[in-house]
Structure 1
């Protein structure tokens, strides 16, 4: 049976305020050259392009193996959720596992459709970095091309930032462990983001947008499955105290 857990209050200034400020900052940065300036730090034309383009560590380990690891983690979460309907020892975590599965699924599924809609080019495809495509910012019209870009938002960044869902899963049951999960998700997403920037696959803004999306998806999944459900089950006096 599902255990009754009193939800900890959601601070809107923290959980929504920081993402809002980040989005405003990202929009304002559209009028700067920060993305291009940072990309130039990783570009060495005399060495054949971006410094991490052919790195075994960045491509085979941080890209392929880490992605496979997160896919395996998602399958384990899905298996745990399915088992919660048949195994009493897991049944108490059914909603938490459902929240995690939903957050992981949505945090990775939103990327490809947005890439196809926005058609933003990757740094390595641009003329400034030895490619053939013309640079355009997110909010600008796309130049004519035979090969539309597929680089916004950052897909591999979502491999790390999707783990925000683990923080929300543990938020009420295991607060200390949840903070560890939050740190792991932030570090993982940041490391993977920097790795792809070093390879010329993404600009900084691509990955920061991904972090915002993944956070909001995790928060929304938590609110719908755990927070909202728990608050409706609490008596009025206890709910006001929470």
Structure 2
């Protein structure tokens, strides 16, 4: 006997409203110096570098090891999805596992193409922080350079925020666990993003943009793969394996 399916209504006004309000706020942020002011808090004028530039914790643990852990988790999701075609205990989770593979892949794959398209410089490359590059905001033209920047959006923050997919993957079957997954994704993305800010790799807005993209990707994949709009108000249905 497979687990009962309890479709839940999806409030798109809420799920879309918050990220789009955040986008508006980020666009308004373009007219301020908040990014630079916050980055300046993490820059040691005496040492001439960011306070976390060579931190073992930030570079080796929060950057390398955590990224490897999320990659491993993604690979396990792929293995689980493939196994769901052969192992009866996973039959009823096939859609969720397939969703997880798709959402995690897209939530990390979008970063590199956008970096190459926007060519935004990292804080540590700017003249204000001991580098050689000229600062430009996201929507401004890029100054001439021999080395285009690759710092928008925040790639490492996506390592944490991509876990929004766990929330959507669990929201219909395990609502309480889904809320815990939502908290995990938010905290992980925020901590990893903050770590890179302390190293001078990103501005605050870079990481917030990443969170918005990861949320919208997770939501879009959920709506296309898992959301059962026609039965969202229906009672739980138990289905057995034929």
The bucket for the TM-score relative to the shorter chain is over 0.9
- Verify the 8 A CA contact 1:196 1:202 in the aligned structure 2: yes
Distance 1:3 1:143 in 2: 57
Local SS of the residue matching 2:140: coil
Equivalent position of 1:8 in the other structure: 8
Q: Is 1:80 the counterpart of 2:80 in the alignment?
A: yes
Cα distance change on mapping 1:145 and 1:165 into 2, 3 Å? same
1:98-118 CA distances to partner (integer Å, 9 max, x unpaired)? 111111000000000000000
Equivalent position of 1:110 in the other structure: 110
Aligned pairs, number: 235
Q: Once the 2 structures are TM-superposed, how far is the Cα of residue 238 of structure 1 from its aligned partner?
A: 3.2
Which structure's residues are more often helix, by fraction? Answer: 1
Over aligned residues, Cα RMSD in angstroms? 1.5
Local SS of the residue matching 1:158: helix
- Verify the 8 A CA contact 1:120 1:148 in the aligned structure 2: yes
Q: Once the 2 structures are TM-superposed, how far is the Cα of residue 45 of structure 1 from its aligned partner?
A: 2.3
Distance 2:2 2:89 in 1: 10
Q: What TM-score do the two structures reach when normalised by structure 2?
A: 0.94
5+ long unaligned stretches in structure 1: none
- Verify the 8 A CA contact 1:6 1:231 in the aligned structure 2: no
Q: What TM-score do the two structures reach when normalised by structure 1?
A: 0.94
Equivalent position of 1:231 in the other structure: 229
5+ long unaligned stretches in structure 2: 236-242
Q: Once the 2 structures are TM-superposed, how far is the Cα of residue 47 of structure 1 from its aligned partner?
A: 1.8
Larger deviation: 40-49 or 80-89? 40-49
Q: Once the 2 structures are TM-superposed, how far is the Cα of residue 14 of structure 1 from its aligned partner?
A: 1.5
- Verify the 8 A CA contact 1:127 1:133 in the aligned structure 2: yes
